[in-house]
Structure 1
Amino acid sequence: MTTDQPTVATEEIRESPSLVRSLVRGALTAKGRGGDLSTRRLVRRGVQVDRGHLADYQRLVGAAGGDVLPHAYPHLLGFPLAAKIMSDKDFPLPMPGLVHVENATTVHRTLTADQAYDVTVWAESLRPHTKGRLVDLVTLVEVDGEAVWQETSTYLQRGAGQADAPRGAAAPGIPAGDPCARWRLADDLGRRYAAVSGDVNPIHLHPLTARAMGFPRAIAHGMWTGARTIAALGPQSTGPSRSHVWFRKPVLLPTTVDLVVDRSGSAQVAALRATKDPETIHLVATLEA
């Protein structure tokens, strides 16, 4: 006996979708969402890296300059496609209020700005969580049919949870000891990262717009904190490597944060914590090269 498998439809996108348009559409169509995940995939072929844009990103996340792409840079190539998927009416969860809770990345080989990339994005694994529901947005980057980079971004829709929901990979313990870096984050960090990433979610841009969304001040983008942390762990992150980031407490701007790292195991373990209150952990990350 055979079981019918859902047909996967691939839609080719010639131009990068507007992130602003996706955010607006996602807000206007938030009500009435539900049902199952679509199996649709969006793909952009022959994506070129703008070297000026790459240099701006490298400076902002503390990565080395040059043609080598930082560990998390390809996220920017796929995020407009992911935002379009989440904003479309066939996506079952309302886009406003989705919380980015985890990010897992695999770099299969060093990537450089002189190559053209095929970028495919799809949603999968809609599942219950103790605090609501989770969904994964997967980004696959290929060169001539070879997978060179892949990312799974996990989002939480807060709501009625399921007490016995399966738990995913647990974050490692928080490294102890003195910080190896201290970063003073200005109040305009969200606007500067938005200018590079295109992610103009109001919670990142200004205290007034953040307050309207329930935050006392603007918050740093999770992908900035993750990228800054991974870049600080060394150049091996740009070669074959795997990372996993668990986002904990939002980083309210302006502030000062400390990076603590444990390099004793096969994978580096890092945590970003508040300088004034070391018990406040903003993220935990692992990097295995």
Structure 2
Amino acid sequence: MQWQTLGSAPFLPPLYWRAALKRKITGSTLPEQGLRCQMRINPQDVAAYRNVCGFADSPILPATYPHILAFGLQMQLLTTKNFPFPLLGLIHLRNRIRLHRPLGAVSEVTVSVHVQNLRPHAKGATFEVVTTLEDSLGLLWEAESQMLCRGVKLEGEPAGDTLPSPTQVNELTRWKAPADIGRRYARVSGDYNPIHLSALTAKLFGFPQAIAHGLWNKAHTLAALGEHLPPANIEIVVEFKKPVRLPSEVTLLTRAPGASGEWLLKGAGDIEHMVGMWQPIA
């Protein structure tokens, strides 16, 4: 793995332009390179993120906030010339985060991103975007986001590992996903993917309505689970099922929260939007 260290977080507008121009698959191997950057955490940015995602005020960062810190690095990596897939059109299938220590009193961190694990899938190929957060004491937080690129042809058998839907779950809470949440989340995350912004821009990519960001759904779920989740030594895995069309209402169902647990996010007509689980890090 070749690492490049950046002096500051990437400037996003030119990366969007680069993403918009690349529409073709140009290869079938992942680049052996990663990006790193030292970042300071801005309390105003964290407060705006909490507000959009439903997190209560706390001295500990939301477990999903490192995704926001890493977004620019991920964009830069996925729009380099030697990255083989177009960024627009990638589908986020699943996401796993591991919190090694509580995210309290964190002000300066090193964020690193790379890609790995290209595998055949029934609809194309999947790969993982790996993100880590380190402070002066070492590894704090890490994540793998599994992405699907349709239309890639790879040799081998498609993997079929999916999270089962939990049973014996009870309603914990419900919330509305308003029509403008894609735009509001874009402002705090930097993720201005057109499928999330409006019905008009979503239709350009084959969606009848705008859909909520998967990581907004996950963040709002963790905010709702709140005190049920341990602040550290925890692994949280989610699988994104049917997208949440905007506007709509969703219901969170969970089972016996404790050191480990499961949840299901449902929409109207029992549509399953997301399944998830948490457990101690093995």
Q: Give RMSD over aligned pairs.
A: 1.9
Q: Which moved more, 1:243-252 or 1:74-83?
A: 74-83
Distance in 1 separating the partners of 2:70 and 2:257: 33
Match of 1:89 among 68, 75, 81: 81
* Structure 2 residue 253 is the aligned partner of structure 1 residue 260: yes
Match of 1:119 among 111, 120, 137: 111
Alignment-mate amino acid for residue 267 of structure 1: S
The SS at the match of 1:149 is strand
Deviations 1:25-47 (A, max 9, x none): 022133251142111110002x1
Distance 1:204 1:264, change over 3 A: closer
Aligned to 1:55: 47
Distance in 1 separating the partners of 2:150 and 2:176: 31
Q: Tell me if the contact between 1:205 and 1:218 (Cα under 8 Å) persists in the aligned partners.
A: yes
Distance in 2 separating the partners of 1:10 and 1:145: 21
Aligned to 1:271: 264
Q: How far did 1:176 drift?
A: 4.1
Aligned to 1:69: 61
Q: How far did 1:160 drift?
A: 6.0
Distance in 2 separating the partners of 1:255 and 1:188: 11
Aligned to 1:212: 204
Distance in 2 separating the partners of 1:148 and 1:13: 20
Count of aligned residue pairs for this structure pair: 278
Deviations 1:171-213 (A, max 9, x none): 0323445421111121001111001001011111111111111
Deviations 1:97-153 (A, max 9, x none): 100000000000011354210011001111111221001000011112611100001
Distance in 1 separating the partners of 2:206 and 2:156: 26
Aligned to 1:288: 279
Aligned to 1:3: none
Aligned to 1:166: 159
Aligned to 2:120: 128
* Structure 2 residue 190 is the aligned partner of structure 1 residue 189: no
Alignment-mate amino acid for residue 285 of structure 1: G
Q: Which moved more, 1:54-63 or 1:263-272?
A: 263-272
Alignment-mate amino acid for residue 17 of structure 1: P
Distance in 2 separating the partners of 1:285 and 1:145: 29
Q: Tell me if the contact between 1:51 and 1:113 (Cα under 8 Å) persists in the aligned partners.
A: no
Q: Which moved more, 1:140-149 or 1:236-245?
A: 236-245
Q: Which moved more, 1:246-255 or 1:58-67?
A: 58-67
The SS at the match of 1:227 is helix
Q: How far did 1:250 drift?
A: 0.6
* Structure 2 residue 213 is the aligned partner of structure 1 residue 221: yes
* Structure 2 residue 243 is the aligned partner of structure 1 residue 240: no
Q: Which runs of 5+ in 2 are unaligned?
A: none
Distance 1:9 1:251, change over 3 A: same
TM-score by length of 2: 0.92
TM-score by length of 1: 0.90
Q: How far did 1:20 drift?
A: 3.4
